[in-house]
Structure 1
Amino acid sequence: MLHRWIAAMTLAAMLVACTGAKEDTERGETAAAHEDEEHEGPSDRTAIPAKTAMEAGIRVAPAGRGEIADEHEVQGLLTPVEGRIAQVMARFPGPIRALGVNVGDRVRAGQPLATIESNLSLTTYTVTAPISGVVLSRNAALGAVTGEGTALFEIADLSQVWVDLHVFGADAQHIRAGVPVTVTRLSDGVTAETTLERVLPGTATASQSTVARATIENADGLWRPGSAVKARVTVDRQPVALVVPLTALQSADEQDVVYVREGSDTYRVRPVKVGRRDALRAEILAGLKPGEQVVVEQSFLVKADIEKSTVEEE
């Protein structure tokens, strides 16, 4: 919350500068009267000059029609795509004379991985990568004797990965192939947009969940197999008469409010009745009219300024 406090203090400083108020070291009766005059007026509004609002990042947009998404939030797990994993085997038994790669190395198809001396011909042969990808595991040690058909390396092409989403209970009845999915990494909050490809016919034995699968691009390699993710699956969208972004909503006196700009620099508190919500928007049932200019960014700064004026009046 430090950045909000700093932003609020910055806005307060801007407002003081724009009023042109001067310090009066003597603090006589004239200055006191002038201060009382400045704080007169209703406590449900504030005046912020247009230039100050722009510099503080306060932005308004007209309230209007929109859509509310029917979304289901589920948990999932990243896995390699089947068919893009290769086991690298020893063709003949014998001691390993050279190893060229380690776990985590990127390799290209045909790249030498190891040299083995065959016990049958007493000559060496080279083991190469069958596909391009990343070395996931290495079960080989220099000088160790490997048997015929022993898996030495596992390589996976991770340019794409599967996300297997675990859906529980009645939610499984609503989720179907073709619906949009937003996947979020738990490690850093980065998201990826994709589409649900299929709902697997069985259930996960351990969790008794239905598994829904999607594919995400992984060009930077940061979507790591085995990592847990969360996802938002949108199963439907409903049109509504009036919506505002969630960033416009604030709470005051234990009720939902928005801040409406009137004219060029007056911002007024407006209590509203909120209906359905999704991850981005909220339906407004009462308290707001279509076309009214609602603060949709930095609404907390307007709230802070109105509350500051109320405290000063009290």
Structure 2
Amino acid sequence: MIRTPFLTPAVLALTLSACGPSTSPVAPSDRIEAPAARAAIKLDDQQRRDAGIEIASVGAASIIEVVPVYGHIAAVADRVRHVAARYPGIARRVMKNIGDSVAAGETLLIVESNDSLQPYRIKAPIAGLVVERHVNDGEALGSDTLFVIADLSQVWAQLEVFPRDAVGLQIGQRVDIHADRTQAPVQAQLDYIAPSSDPQRRSIPLRATLDNASGRWRPGQFISADLEIAAHDVALAVSQAAIQDLDGQASVFVETAAGFVPRALRTGKRDRRHVEVIDGLQAGERVAVGNSFLLKSEWLAEAED
């Protein structure tokens, strides 16, 4: 029976059924041979659901060649406003703080003019977020910036790439933006590639625009990204999640009439999603993808008996 704590009690009752040699044309040197005492791992539909075992057919795929890059989030330049006093005076009432949302035309500050001694209002020129404030009640005002307001409904992903990795980059190419690598990336497109490298950093600045209606992205936030620089169409590929290491070989668990059995592979190109299969599988064969590590645990446990 399966000895891993990841399975539910229903799946702990798995039975094993004997199976003969695989009929696959893969050369013996490329295959993990099951000893006579070993058996295929037999699961019914309910046991598969309980264990979270997902199955996928082997077929063609595109292997995406990527370059990892890093950068930060920045406000879109034409969506930022610097607000100053129209006339010199004294700040009588500051009405907004950093982090406050403001509507276009909303009062930020009431100022008493030095000339007329009459109060006037300084208003937000655009809707957005107060990202800087440089004034307090009672202070004398001149021409310095008092507030910076940014419309962050869209932001820039500012990235940098080394010149050697920039060959072939084009406007419109896909880039996957990560706030952290534990979450799914946000897909975007390059909309700016600097014509020359930064002389100090010796890198080429890149940019992609991100929708930020949810407020997920904040200026200054560190990000990483994957630039897609080439796509390679391959005849056969499997999901990265299907690959397990058995005896130092990249292997998958193939669904057969008798149950799941491991099959060693000769692999080629790979990306974050797929691995090219050069030898070891045929188009249309079905392999375990989700939670395939549970099958590996069972197979190794049986080998110890």
Residue 93 of structure 1 and its aligned partner are, at CA, apart by 1.1
**Equivalent position of 1:22 in the other structure:** none
Residue 44 of structure 1 and its aligned partner are, at CA, apart by 6.5
Residue 282 and residue 183 in structure 1: after superposition, are their counterparts in 2 closer, same or farther (change >3 A)? same
8 Å contact kept, 2:161–2:204: yes
Q: In 2, distance between residues paired with 1:125 and 1:74?
A: 49
Secondary structure in 1 matching 2:87 = coil
Counterpart among 126, 130, 133 of residue 131 in structure 1? 126
8 Å contact kept, 1:98–1:115: yes
Amino acid at match of 1:286: D
Residue 209 and residue 137 in structure 1: after superposition, are their counterparts in 2 closer, same or farther (change >3 A)? same
Residue 240 and residue 310 in structure 1: after superposition, are their counterparts in 2 closer, same or farther (change >3 A)? same
Q: Paired residues, what number? A: 285
Amino acid at match of 2:189: T
Query: TM-score w.r.t. structure 1 length?
Result: 0.86
Deviates more, 1:182-191 or 1:210-219: 182-191
1:145-195, CA deviations, whole angstroms, 9 ceiling, x for partnerless residues? 111x22110000111111111011311112221111110003863521111
Counterpart among 249, 254, 257 of residue 255 in structure 1? 249
1:177-229, CA deviations, whole angstroms, 9 ceiling, x for partnerless residues? 11111100038635211111121113224311011111011112121111121
Amino acid at match of 2:215: G
Q: In 2, distance between residues paired with 1:173 and 1:187?
A: 26
Q: In 2, distance between residues paired with 1:96 and 1:237?
A: 59
Amino acid at match of 1:211: P
**Equivalent position of 2:168 in the other structure:** 174
**Equivalent position of 1:221 in the other structure:** 215
Residue 85 and residue 175 in structure 1: after superposition, are their counterparts in 2 closer, same or farther (change >3 A)? same
8 Å contact kept, 2:11–2:51: no
**Equivalent position of 1:103 in the other structure:** 98
Q: In 2, distance between residues paired with 1:99 and 1:87?
A: 16
**Equivalent position of 1:289 in the other structure:** 282
**Equivalent position of 2:21 in the other structure:** none
Counterpart among 283, 301, 304 of residue 308 in structure 1? 301
Residue 8 of structure 1 and its aligned partner are, at CA, apart by 3.4
Question: Is 1:157 aligned to 2:151, yes or no?
Answer: yes
Query: TM-score w.r.t. structure 2 length?
Result: 0.88
8 Å contact kept, 2:111–2:120: yes
Residue 70 of structure 1 and its aligned partner are, at CA, apart by 1.6
Counterpart among 262, 270, 275 of residue 269 in structure 1? 262
Amino acid at match of 2:38: S
Counterpart among 78, 82, 89 of residue 83 in structure 1? 78
Secondary structure in 1 matching 2:5 = helix
Q: In 2, distance between residues paired with 1:11 and 1:66?
A: 31
Counterpart among 56, 60, 65 of residue 61 in structure 1? 56
Deviates more, 1:243-252 or 1:172-181: 172-181
Counterpart among 291, 297, 302 of residue 298 in structure 1? 291
**Equivalent position of 2:233 in the other structure:** 239
Q: In 1, distance between residues paired with 2:86 and 2:234?
A: 65
8 Å contact kept, 1:12–1:305: no
Q: In 2, distance between residues paired with 1:309 and 1:15?
A: 16
Higher fraction of helix = 1
For structure 1, the 5+ residue unaligned runs are 1-6, 20-39
For structure 2, the 5+ residue unaligned runs are 16-34
Counterpart among 130, 138, 144 of residue 143 in structure 1? 138
Amino acid at match of 1:107: V
Amino acid at match of 1:285: I
8 Å contact kept, 1:250–1:257: yes
Q: In 1, distance between residues paired with 2:76 and 2:182?
A: 23
1:49-98, CA deviations, whole angstroms, 9 ceiling, x for partnerless residues? 33101221101111011111121111122111111100111011111111
Residue 12 of structure 1 and its aligned partner are, at CA, apart by 6.9
Aligned identity (percent) is: 34
Structure 1 vs Structure 2 CA RMSD: 2.0
Q: In 2, distance between residues paired with 1:106 and 1:172?
A: 39
Secondary structure in 2 matching 1:8 = coil
8 Å contact kept, 1:11–1:52: no
Residue 42 of structure 1 and its aligned partner are, at CA, apart by 4.0
